[in-house]
Structure 1
Amino acid sequence: MLSHQRHSAVVLLFKGGDRAMPGNYRPIALLPVEVKVLAKALACRLAAVLAAIIHPMQAGFVRGRRLHDHVVLLQNLAQHCTDVGDEGYATFLDMYKAYDMVNWDWMYKVLDAVNIGPGFISWVQLLYRDPSIQLLINGTLAPSLSPTRGVKQGCPLSSLLFVLSIEPLGQFLRHPTHVGSGIMLPDGRFVSTLFFADDTTLISNSRASALHQLTLVDTYCQASGAKLNVAKCKTLVLNSRQGETAHPGLNVVPIGQPVKYLGVYFGHNLDPAYSVRQLNDRFYDAFRQWGSRARTLRGRVLLVNAVVLSMLWHTTAVTAIPADQVAKWQSMVTKYVLGRKTAPTESMVVLVNATFQFDKSTGLRVPHIASTLRKQRLVRLRNMLAEADSSLWASLSLAQFARCSPLLGRPHDFLHYF
């Protein structure tokens, strides 16, 4: 490539925390257009075969895999451990600057090990040969730097390369000599890891097994150049009947304290209403912040769908929402769309027929929250029945249904549970 094609500007996006700490910023590479086109072409080729290479326990950036499956599996594991009285632990790892620490030689070796052709590897090597970057700070370019590791965040190919580079860690933890450290499901299969890109979770059946898995992760880090941020790793006790006790080498989450996994709150004996309260606060804050931006009815419908309700769907897909809470949300949405009300304390008499309010073809198209929640449940139940033999979360869910309703004789009749 030409010298200008090897060059990229890097902007820093603030992630949260102390703004004076460099580690609280995410570097995003701004690549030349022709380089991005090449990277996209390579990404399309690689994405087509990634599902055949990457283990199903890695759900990040692999076509056809869903983030919510891992969330439901962890919820089911917690319920399973509580029901049968077994020990169970989930250790949430924090990889320090995971994307920026990828060793290029390690990445090329992994590509070769999974039988990616030499021609494809040479194209990847071309993208990472003698790169240079300049930080763009307050509109000013800093002096040029020459990175020696890391995949470029902002490049279409980077996420796929990262998923491949971390796959050996999953294979190492799932090796027959180590998989026994995980939790055994009713069908005899083991769960020892959950991956979503760099969000890595270790599933173990004892504290000793959790410590053993951490030593395996340390071995992987030494070989690959990755770095584990031990201070930020947290261990959650899955069995809610088991007492939470501190343990040397493990940062055990205290009783009642939340820990976020893939955007959903978990906790040892965490108040079931905690997630709903968090959603509730964000829901009403969005109206106060954005409500005045839309002047027309159509604009308010668009704003509610794009800004307000969109922040609910991720959590509601895996969390039971009380009917009275859904009714309050619906009331707020209706008052805003029809009456421009932005606070829950503001009253309004709705004179429009409910059918006309929610009709999407001839009505006002006011979003109906309860219908979306029912659709989410039906999709989840459909996936559970369709993937019962292949997905761990689905088989565990069906086992729990069967255990709860043996007298009915129809544990797979999903309409009974709807």
Structure 2
Amino acid sequence: MPVEVKILSRAIAYRLSAVAPTLIHPSQAGFVQGRRMSDHIHLIQALQHRASRDDAEHYTAFLGFEKAYDRVDHEFVRIQSRRYCGQILFRLWAALNLDKCVTLVLNNNETPLLRRSTPSLILAQSGTPIRYLGAFVGHNLDPEYHVQLVTDKLLTALPQWKYRARTLAGRRIIASTMVLSQIWHITAATPIPTPRVLLW
């Protein structure tokens, strides 16, 4: 995504932040002020628990990021922006964002329509981890699975980070940006056993 599109997207998001919760459906939890992505992770975990409790067969369909953006009717967005957004500059910014955005898979820069790298439909067995909004979920998944992955990642990275930050202030910045952000996201979505908390 070009730099100017990122800047304009952020400016538009800031200007719409006061009214965004009324414009965006409550089912969209992420990227709206006052809503948390972890709510969706808790919902998926609750559905898995219910399926296990009732001994019933359930299926969940996830729409990938690139597929979600491919499903947006850009002409509809343009018509609605003309109808509700009176300022011409605002409409031009929105049009620029729509015209210049292309989603690419990181493998070979394939467009979503030509993507051959992953199948469109993946069926996962019980106990298979599925990454959803940065957290691993799955039916009968070991509760320690995601926590162990994060712990291994952090313990591998910490020796490398200690040479980058030589001052106490530098180490605090690395800890708050790299370590605490991951731990904060994981602990909001995954129960952490007491022995793991003591290790951290």
What's the TM-score, normalizing by structure 1?
0.39
Q: Which amino acid aligns with 1:286?
A: A
Residues 81, 91 of structure 2: 8 Å contact kept: no
Residues 127, 138 of structure 2: 8 Å contact kept: yes
Q: Which amino acid aligns with 1:123?
A: L
- 2:3 is matched with 30
- 1:107 is matched with 77
CA distance in 1, matches of 2:72, 2:25: 20
Residues 286, 307 of structure 1: 8 Å contact kept: no
2:63 corresponds to which of 74, 93, 102:
93
- 2:191 is matched with 320
Q: Which amino acid aligns with 2:55?
A: G
1:264 corresponds to which of 113, 132, 135:
135
Deviation at 1:97, TM superposition (A): 6.3
Q: Does 1:123 align with 2:55?
A: no
Aligned residue-pair number: 190
Deviation at 1:128, TM superposition (A): 6.2
- 2:178 is matched with 307
Q: After TM superposition, list the pairs within 5 Å mapping 1:32-51 onto structure 2.
A: 36=7, 40=11, 42-51=12-21
- 2:149 is matched with 278
Q: CA-to-partner distance for each residue in 1:102-135, whole Å, 9 max, x for gaps?
A: 55312123446xx624x14x43443366x6xxxx
- 1:414 is matched with none
What SS does the aligned partner of 1:316 have?
A: helix
- 1:81 is matched with 51
CA distance in 2, matches of 1:271, 1:38: 39
What SS does the aligned partner of 1:89 have?
A: coil
Residues 47, 62 of structure 1: 8 Å contact kept: yes
Deviation at 1:264, TM superposition (A): 0.5
Deviation at 1:233, TM superposition (A): 4.4
Deviation at 1:232, TM superposition (A): 4.1
Structure with greater helix percent: 2
Q: Does 1:67 align with 2:37?
A: yes
Residues 50, 62 of structure 1: 8 Å contact kept: yes
Residues 101, 227 of structure 1: 8 Å contact kept: no
Q: Which amino acid aligns with 1:126?
A: L
The structure whose Rg is larger is 1
Deviation at 1:38, TM superposition (A): 10
What SS does the aligned partner of 1:265 have?
A: strand
What SS does the aligned partner of 2:61 have?
A: strand
Q: Percent identity?
A: 36
CA distance in 2, matches of 1:46, 1:126: 15
Q: CA-to-partner distance for each residue in 1:196-241, whole Å, 9 max, x for gaps?
A: xxxxxxxxxxxxxxxxxxxxxxxxxxxxxx969795445xxxxxxx
Between the two structures, name the one with larger relative contact order (CA 8 Å, sep ≥ 6). Answer: 2
CA distance in 1, matches of 2:144, 2:151: 10
Residues 258, 270 of structure 1: 8 Å contact kept: yes
Residues 93, 233 of structure 1: 8 Å contact kept: no
CA distance in 1, matches of 2:94, 2:53: 51
Q: CA-to-partner distance for each residue in 1:243-297, whole Å, 9 max, x for gaps?
A: xxxxxxxx31123221100000012322222112101111101212212223344
Identify if the C-alpha distance between structure 1 residues 281 and 43 changes in structure 2 by more than 3 Å, giving closer, same or farther. closer
Q: CA-to-partner distance for each residue in 1:23-57, whole Å, 9 max, x for gaps?
A: xxxxx21229xx957972x4444332221122210
CA distance in 1, matches of 2:37, 2:196: 25
CA distance in 2, matches of 1:313, 1:111: 36
Deviation at 1:58, TM superposition (A): 0.9
Q: Does 1:55 align with 2:25?
A: yes
Structure with greater strand percent: 1
Identify if the C-alpha distance between structure 1 residues 233 and 93 changes in structure 2 by more than 3 Å, giving closer, same or farther. farther
Q: Which amino acid aligns with 1:29?
A: P
Q: Which amino acid aligns with 1:116?
A: Y
What SS does the aligned partner of 2:33 have?
A: coil
Residues 48, 138 of structure 2: 8 Å contact kept: no
- 2:105 is matched with none
Identify if the C-alpha distance between structure 1 residues 233 and 297 changes in structure 2 by more than 3 Å, giving closer, same or farther. same
What's the TM-score, normalizing by structure 2?
0.74
Give the aligned CA root-mean-square deviation in angstroms: 3.6
CA distance in 2, matches of 1:284, 1:38: 35
Q: CA-to-partner distance for each residue in 1:118-156, whole Å, 9 max, x for gaps?
A: x14x43443366x6xxxxxxxxxxxxxxx9x64548xxx
CA distance in 1, matches of 2:136, 2:37: 14
Residues 71, 261 of structure 1: 8 Å contact kept: yes
Identify if the C-alpha distance between structure 1 residues 53 and 301 changes in structure 2 by more than 3 Å, giving closer, same or farther. closer
Q: Which amino acid aligns with 1:252?
A: L
Deviation at 1:311, TM superposition (A): 2.1
